[in-house]
Structure 1
Amino acid sequence: MASAFSDIAVTVVFRGTPHHVNLLPESTLGDLQNQLEKATSVSPSLQKLLYKGKNIKQNRDGQETIASMGLRNGSKIQMLGTTSEELDGIQATESEQKRINQILQERALKPAYKVRSTGTMNSASLNYGFHQLLPLPHLRNPTSAHKLLRRLSDDPAIQHIMQQHQFSVGVLTELAPHEHPGLLGLNVNAGQQIKLRLRTDRYDGFRAYNEVRRVLCHELTHNVWGDHNNDFKELNSKLNREVAEFERARRDGTHSLSGLDSYDVYEPSPELEAEAHIHVLGGSGPFNRDEERRRHLSTEQELEDSCGTAGPSSLGP
């Protein structure tokens, strides 16, 4: 008979909440997962258990003992996963997405119209923008998520680059942290959908607006270029510069979204180039070109690493 001292007490943290689980050394991984299912409503098949940065479920069938896996009294485990309630919501959302995708495919077969520079907004220009905003209804505060998506959609600087580059996005929606923990954004089928990480990892609020908007500019670039090559980097940099230029001109009262004539040519001044870098990086204060260039490259690399659109990490809808 095992003594009390032979018990192994582990702490499993799920979305910021610790769950204390007592196990015997001969308890199996499956026993641990069953206890976690009762505590979190996440089924074993959807649980991802990270111990010392490694997935302890990988290449295991659930019959290995806790002791043989190296877990000791006081071990801490991080758990990722989707609850049964969230899974039902995701499935309902996916069904709705399939219906939306079918509608968008039917629209794509219709003739497209090109925006002409007339000095006023015309009906063709309405084709460029976000056709639907879709927060995830199974997550908390979908109303707040919808307001953030609406703010992005109505952002005058974003509307400006959408018109300027004739970008059309079928659905602007959110990317739940538990679905793809490493991603901040995803562009599906060159603008059919753009998914953005709106929420914090702990679901206790929303990420900073300027950070989300920067990711949106990155994903809009994928409407044109799939890979993170030089063509992509050039266009992505240009979009961020145009956002900064538009906002400066708007503050100075020299730019109007309805005045499309000014969209035909973009030649940023050195001062605007500097402001664009500061705007993209969220910086402030005196501009040091070398320092800002290093920060810019570091930030863009971080965005590429957390983007699921290009490369082997590319994900589907």
Structure 2
Amino acid sequence: MISFTTKFQKESLQIDLPDDAVFTDLTSKFNPDPSLVKILHSGKQIHQLPQPSNSPYKIIVLVTSNRQVDTLHQKEEFAHQAQKNYNNALLSRPKYNIVKQGYFKHIEPLELHEKEKARELLFKLRDDPSIKQIMYEREWRVTRLTELHPDEKTILGYNQNKGQVVALRLRTDNLDGFRYYNSIVKVLLHELAHMIFNEHDEHFHRLDRELNRDYERYKGRRLDGSTGSVVSVESTVNVLGGKKQGELRDILLQAATSRLTKEEQEIQDGCGSK
């Protein structure tokens, strides 16, 4: 007989096996499902019992409990529902016809000093190839892109009525100059995420991060000016079917539980969208 005592779930467990025992005879002592039990010997996972020896040897048993399996299934169900809600929100977005004036119908700087520089900055945002590609793929249109008034010092930007007005802070707090272009872009992408989601929840933050990834991905790409589409670059707007199930599950769970970066938190705190 092979006999030994071990601790399992905080209790002593006596194991008695015949000399001709097979591997599943051992694993079944811990869990009827052999796929939930791993046996380690000499630091490696084994799939059969070591050969009998006169000297004792050590094995390590790793067991996944049924409670852990149930918890994993609950997380998978949560991820699946989050994916479903996200896709439904994207599918329900309003449809627009492509218009000649582009994706931002009106550009309106404020009547302040260096108005022309503010206008140039707004036009630069409008004509940014990465921004145009994002707007094209999601069929988004903004009626008025304007400058946020400097008196609203606690706000970096807002999106009113999902594209009726998008206002951005262009100038520094002391009004002596203009904010960095990349910082303004990140605020714009944040406000564009409000084209789909109103609340700053996990769905919103996932879309916001997706827009930022797309913006960086499109930099330096050759664009087709007639449609705005990227040439020879695969689009990742449609989420379903784009990734393996396990990878997609991990991404969804991470997106649902991860904390905001300092920059994301600052932009959210400065968002005036309602």
Q: Could you tell me the TM-score, scaled by structure 2's length?
A: 0.53
When residues 223 and 189 of structure 1 are mapped into structure 2, their CA distance, relative to the original with a 3 A threshold, is same
Shift of residue 189, structure 1, vs aligned partner: 1.0
Shift of 1:177: 2.0
Does structure 1 retain, via aligned residues, the 8 Å contact 2:224–2:230?
no
Corresponding residue number in structure 1 for 2:127: 154
Shift of 1:181: 1.0
Query: In structure 2, do the counterparts of structure 1 residues 202 and 114 end up closer, same or farther at CA, with 3 Å as the change threshold?
Result: closer
Would you say 1:132 and 2:96 are equivalent positions?
Answer: no
Name the counterpart of 1:144: 117
The structural deviation recorded for 1:302 is 1.1
Contact 1:217/1:236, CA 8 A, preserved across alignment:
yes
Q: Partner residue of 2:272?
A: 308
Give the number of equivalent residue pairs.
160
**Match for residue 168 of structure 1?**
141
> Partners of 1:205 and 1:160 in 2: how far apart?
29
Residue in structure 2 matching 1:244, options 208, 216, 227: 216
Indicate the RMSD between aligned Cα atoms, in angstroms.
2.7
3-state DSSP of counterpart to 2:261: helix
CA 1:299–1:125 in 2, change beyond 3 Å: closer, same or farther? same
- The separation in 1 between residues aligned to 2:95 and 2:172, in whole angstroms, is 39
Shift of 1:256: 3.8
Please report how far the alpha carbon of residue 233 of structure 1 lies from its aligned counterpart in structure 2 after TM superposition: 0.8
Counterpart CA distance in 2 for 1:175 and 1:264 is 35
Other-structure match for 2:154: 182
Q: Report the Cα offset of residue 140 of structure 1.
A: 1.0
Please give the residue correspondences for 1:78-117 in structure 2 after superposition, counting only pairs within 5 Å.
Answer: none
Match of 2:203 in 1: 231
Cα contact 2:133–2:230 (8 A) shared by 1 = no
C-alpha distance in structure 1 between counterparts of 2:177 and 2:271, whole Å: 21
Secondary structure (helix, strand or coil) at the match of 1:145 reads: helix
2:173 maps to what in 1?
201
**2:184 matched residue in structure 1:** 212
TM-score for both structures, normalised by structure 1: 0.46
Native 8 Å contact 2:142 2:163 kept in 1? yes
**Do the aligned partners of 1:156 and 1:257 also contact (CA within 8 Å) in 2?**
no
Change (3 A) 1:247 1:257: farther
Give the deviation of 1:141 after TM superposition: 1.2
Structure 1 segment 25-40 matched on structure 2, within 5 A: none
Whether the 8 Å CA contact 1:200–1:206 is kept in 2: the answer is yes
Contact 1:157 1:247 in 2 (8 A): yes
Secondary structure of 1:239's aligned partner: helix
